[in-house]
Structure 1
């Protein structure tokens, strides 16, 4: 069955040059897409969680000692998410007897679970002794809430918990 357009035309022969052109074009497209994907992957996430695993390993003993010292204090530190007109996180810190802790400087941040570059430090105000509220707008998503309570330039309490905003 032939049409008028194809009636006088003979089929085009497949030559070595045509096969080479198709072959090079096919792998050229594959190479270009792979190059683009690798570039996007490397620029969006480096894959490095700690800058120096060796130094992190050396400080492990200090971290364990700080955790034992923190447990010995028997403090209760609670974080609550406030909704409404002024959303924020309210942190309440109490000692073993239930008394509000005074003289603490909080360092609170939302740590992104996979990319340290997206961490958000939260500015806080002290509502009353041992009670703090974040005033920084918080982005939605899944975050690690990192609470550090400092006294005289020393971190006396540290916690990390996963939250969803």
Structure 2
């Protein structure tokens, strides 16, 4: 003979409700902590200051266009996990531009904490090279900047994929 089923009491219902909502709240707290811990941050530190400098950015872009420089960048992944960046700069007439200060950055589109700076030095007339160590595979924004006489002379941002 089978034993009679145990009756559903108020205590059992209370325990089931507390367990259910405890699991739901626990999952929500865990997900919130993970979301906050992995937040990459903002694109600009101060949107107000960026807005004030907007006219200067437009002026610098017009000056860059007027110079008609031809700047070509090539990034190559090395077998040790790093990358080599080479920039070739020529003026409007096609002559190499020497004596500039170039800098490069590899920026992760999804996580600013993974950004890498690449210091470029002049390796030849109009050719600038630099190395980045431990570059993870995937999509990057390659940002190239140049200064001449303390002023920004060139700025370029391109999406690259490194395998």
Question: Would you say same fold, with TM above 0.5?
Answer: yes
Deviations 1:50-78 (A, max 9, x none): 22222111111110010001000000000
Q: Aligned to 2:62, which of 58, 68, 85?
A: 68
Greater alpha carbon shift after TM alignment, 83-92 vs 120-129: 83-92
Label 1:139 to 1:152 Cα distance change in 2 as closer, same or farther (>3 A): farther
Q: Structure 1: how far apart are the matches of 2:78 and 2:33? A: 42
Q: Does 1:92 align with 2:88?
A: yes
Q: Which runs of 5+ in 1 are unaligned?
A: none
Q: Does 1:162 align with 2:159?
A: yes
Greater relative contact order structure (CA < 8 Å, 6+ sep): 2
* 2:102/2:121 contact within 8 Å kept: no
The within-5 A match list for 1:98-117 is 98-117=94-113
Q: Does 1:39 align with 2:33?
A: yes
| Pair member with larger Rg | 1
Greater alpha carbon shift after TM alignment, 35-44 vs 150-159: 150-159
Question: What SS class does the counterpart of residue 162 from structure 1 fall into?
Answer: strand
Q: What is the match of residue 134 of structure 1?
A: 130
Q: Structure 2: how far apart are the matches of 1:140 and 1:46? A: 18
Q: CA RMSD in A?
A: 1.8
Q: Which runs of 5+ in 2 are unaligned?
A: none
Deviations 1:103-157 (A, max 9, x none): 1111101011122111000133322021112222233110000000112322110
Displacement of 1:29 after TM fit?
0.6
How high is the TM-score relative to the length of structure 2?
0.89
Deviations 1:31-58 (A, max 9, x none): 1111111111111115522222221111
Shift >3 Å, 4+ stretches: 82-87
Hey, which of these two has a bigger chunk of strand by percent? 2
Question: What SS class does the counterpart of residue 114 from structure 1 fall into?
Answer: coil
Q: Structure 2: how far apart are the matches of 1:85 and 1:39? A: 37
Q: Structure 2: how far apart are the matches of 1:13 and 1:84? A: 70
